[in-house]
Amino acid sequence: MFLPFQSVGASPDYHCDSHMTGNVLATSSAGSLRTCRLISSGPMNLCNFRFLRCSSFSQSLPLLSATCVVWLEHLQGRSKFLKYSVNPRCTLKQEEEKMLRLETLYEKTREELRRKEDRYCKEMEEKQQLELHSKNLEMELITLRKLLRQVEEEREETQKQLSQEKSARALQEGILNNHLWRQKELEEETRRTIEKNSEVGDLSQQLEKESKTCMQLKAQNSSLREELSTMRESHEQLEKSECQLKEEVAKLKHHLETSMVDRSLIEQYKREVEERAAQEIRQKLEEVNLFLQTQAVSQDRLEQIRASHHASLRNQLKHRIRDLECELDRIKNTQQDGIFQQESTHAEVERYKELYLEELKIRRRLGNKLERSNERLAEANAKLLQERCRNKALFTSSIVSGGLAESPVQYSTELGHLGNSLTLNRSLSLGGSFLSPTWNALSSRNRVEAYMAKVSILKQCSQLLLKNIHKQSYVF
């Protein structure tokens, strides 16, 4: 009876025990077969082979071939020895029967060895395929690490861009607040100018009133002058009348002289005429003097009022003109400052528009990069799923030891969990953050959180791949 590959103990030696007639044979082969021991007990019992431990199947093949050669040599010597025994016929028949059984056993063992060699070749091919697969996985791991490094660099770039965007937004808010403050100041200045304009209107109305009063005074002055001219005319008429009276007196004197009128009557008449003329002249002169005095007083008063009014009005107008000139200069300066501020804000707005357009381009470029990375991850996921199916098919078809048979199943299940986690995480956290229609409406914080989730998922994937590759290398 043949018992192949019974694994017991932890000894590194290889033993082959066979009970025969007390003979002990030892053979050794270089490297693979260390010890082969044959022990015989009883006449021609069946062989019991026990292999305690074999590190690889290639070491068991020369052991079995050497065992078979030793058995054949021993049987040939045994047959020669039995030819000269007491019962040659019985022993020869028994020996021939045993030889036949041993030959059939040898054929069976050789066929089994051939089958084991074929299986060993298949296992070696599978091992080579698995080594190639492990190398491919290592290359994929290297590419994933490079991709992870690129993603981290892109994350740093996006963080820098977000910090720049925050600083630009803070600066823009400060500029807008300054612009609003300037606009409020301009509104206050316009309100003050409106008030000043209203004051100027009041002053212009007052000036019109004063000009009207001045015109009235001028009209009074002209009327007084007309009266003075009339008085002068009357004075001239009186003077003319006085001259006429003098002429009449002279005529009367001449007439008296000529007519020889009583002198006393003439003198009386003359005195009466002179008194009456002198009285009239005195009255007229008093009236003229009184009129001239009143006119002079009114003229002086008018001149004083006019001078004081003109002086006060001139001073007010000078002060008002000076204030208005200062106000106008200040308004011009504020308007120039406002125009300059508007131009600067317009230039800053244009610059921020350009920065915003550049940021949009950078975001689109980053979105394209993330889309390409998602496609690469999807391709890697598909490759991993294909490799999982292929490994499952390979390891289910192979029959190997317990540790080798359990590890591929575990590896394939872990690969399956890895592929499922990659697919699920990609669909949950990476698929829609940068490619959704509401991409422009997302805040910077959500984009950074999605990006950090993607980086953590890539790190987990790389760690799982490293762990599975280490397990695979340990199994083989």
Alpha-carbon distance of 466 to 391, in angstroms, equals 17
- Closest of 32, 118, 114, 45 to residue 75, by C-alpha: 45
The CA distance from 40 to 48, in Å, is 11
Inter-residue contact 51 to 14 (CB < 8 Å): yes
- Cβ(47)–Cβ(69) below 8 Å: no
Quote the CA–CA distance of 298 and 300 in Å, as a whole number.
Answer: 5
Question: What six digits make up the tokens of 163?
Answer: 């910090």
| Alpha helices by DSSP H, 49-87 | 57-83
CA distance 196 to 326: 12
pLDDT in tens, the chain (476 residues): 333 333 333 333 333 333 333 333 333 333 333 333 333 333 333 333 333 334 444 455 555 555 656 666 666 665 555 554 445 555 677 878 888 888 888 888 888 888 888 888 988 888 888 888 888 888 888 888 888 888 888 888 887 877 887 787 788 788 878 878 877 888 888 788 788 777 777 777 877 887 788 788 778 777 877 877 787 787 788 788 778 877 877 777 776 666 655 666 767 777 787 788 788 888 878 887 887 888 788 778 888 887 887 788 788 888 878 888 888 888 888 878 878 877 887 787 788 778 878 878 887 888 788 888 778 877 887 887 887 787 777 767 764 544 443 444 444 444 444 444 444 444 434 444 433 434 444 455 566 667 667 667 766 766 676 666 666 554 44
Kindly report the three-state secondary structure assignment for every residue of 34-55: CCEEEECCCCCCCCCCCCCCCC
Most distant CA atoms of the chain, gap in Å: 247
Give the pairing type, strands 24-27 and 36-39.
antiparallel
What pLDDT does residue 81 have?
54
Taking alpha carbons only, the member of 366, 373, 368, 367 closest to residue 426 is 373
CA atoms within 13 A on the CB side of 28: 5
What does the CA dihedral 113, 16, 31, 122 come to, rounded to 10 degrees? 20
Q: Identify which of 107, 99, 52, 53 has the alpha carbon closest to the alpha carbon of residue 78.
A: 99
Q: How far apart are CA 66 and CA 35, in angstroms?
A: 11
> Residue 74: which residues within 8 A CB-CB, separation 6 or more?
20, 23, 25, 38
Q: Tell me, what's the pLDDT at 14?
A: 36
Query: Which secondary-structure segment (H or E) carries 25?
Result: strand 24-27
State the Cα–Cα distance between residues 381 and 228, nearest whole angstrom.
Answer: 124
* Cβ atoms of 404 and 347 closer than 8 Å: no
**How many CB atoms sit inside 10 A of residue 395's CB?**
20
- Going from N- to C-terminal start, the domains of the chain cover 24-125, 134-169+370-475, 173-350
User: Which of 181, 202, 179, 195 lies closest to 327 in space, CA to CA?
Assistant: 195
> Residues, the chain, total?
476
Token digits of residue 362: 């950078």
Beta-carbon contacts of 273 under 8 Å, excluding residues fewer than 6 positions away, are 245, 248, 249
